Amino acid sequence: MNNKKLKSAARLFVALLFLSPVIFPQGKEIPKNIILMIGDGMGLNLITSSAIINEDCPFKKFRSIGLAVTCSADKLITDSAAGATAISTGHRTNNKLVGVDPEKKNLQNIFELAESKGLATGVVVTSSVTNATPAGFISHVNDRYKEFDIAAQLTECGIDVAIGGGQKYFLPKPDGERPDSINLINKLKDSGYAVTFSFDQLKNQDDTKIVALLEKDGLKPAKERNYSLSELVNIALINLSKEENGFVLMIEGSQIDWFAGAKELNGTVNEMNDFEGAVKTAMDFTVQDKNTLLIVTADHETGGISITGGDVKVPSPKMEFLTGSHTANAVGVFAYGPGEDLFRGFYNNSETGQKLLSLINHRTENLSH
């Protein structure tokens, strides 16, 4: 076969790989609940390093594993806005866009579909709740940095639980930085939300609708907090489990990306450990519940992290950064629970979103029969 034919065959293969529709297998189990965990910037080598060091690495417990390509619609290397939108809506979009297609038309996300079917929804993040990844599940904006607009949309999106940082996007001066002088905290309270600003308040909260804004902007790094992402996740799971119809929860280890982007290895590992603790908590819930699907993936890889040496007997892998930016490296998709086999294979990250939307649709269709 000559080079021209080889190139044509390669182009056809790529087209088929990324344009093929999600085919839902008949007779498969449908989850009542979905927990979607996103390690922002979490590449495969970070996971590999953990698996080398830790015998109880939670990623070893997953039975169905896939790989996802993370390119956005307009760039080979995605940002978190386009990455989150692909996962939340099943459509690739341009960098900087949140919840809209390249023509800036709104796309339905998995939270909107779930809420229309009577499921509860929630986000738990270590960034601001208005940051790019959570924004992909609660808003539609043409610029990820319009966090004041994203905050306003959060108050109207119907979410049941939102835990993270971002007080300044909800409050006018002097307590916050809203330019329009609107107090969104009062709006949330008027809509029936319990709003808390500290972990001590949050852990004693038993309301069904909660917004916890624990810092002015993003949360403190894992080593500087007196609580873990795992504890925040546990609170959200207890709350959302009260919904008889089920729930969809998105959890993000936001600061893996921040430290990897700064080439700070210790900070990256600390944030990864914090995220893994939350994965363990979610896995324990999933195993015990038996009706929950747990998905763990990343929106992109950051840092081009490589394992370049170390001692196999200790073990102590040596890791190095290739870059201080995002990369186009494929990321893992780890699945456990009813419907997990849908996530095996090699596909575009938007197909992760398509699979999630399909599961929600099939689950609610079954309930109506």
CA distance 229 to 220: 11
Using DSSP bridges, classify how beta strands 64-69 and 331-336 pair: parallel, antiparallel or unpaired. antiparallel
Helix (H, G, I), strand (E, B) or coil at 19: helix
Active-site annotation, residues = 80
Residue 5 in tokens? 């034919």
SS3 content of the chain, % helix, strand, coil (to 5): 40, 20, 40
Q: E strands along the chain, which residues? A: 33-39, 64-69, 120-128, 161-165, 194-196, 210-213, 247-253, 292-297, 301-302, 306-311, 316-320, 326-327, 331-336, 345-348
303 to 178, 230, 266: CA distances (angstroms):
33, 25, 13
Q: How far is CA 179 from the centre of its chain?
A: 29
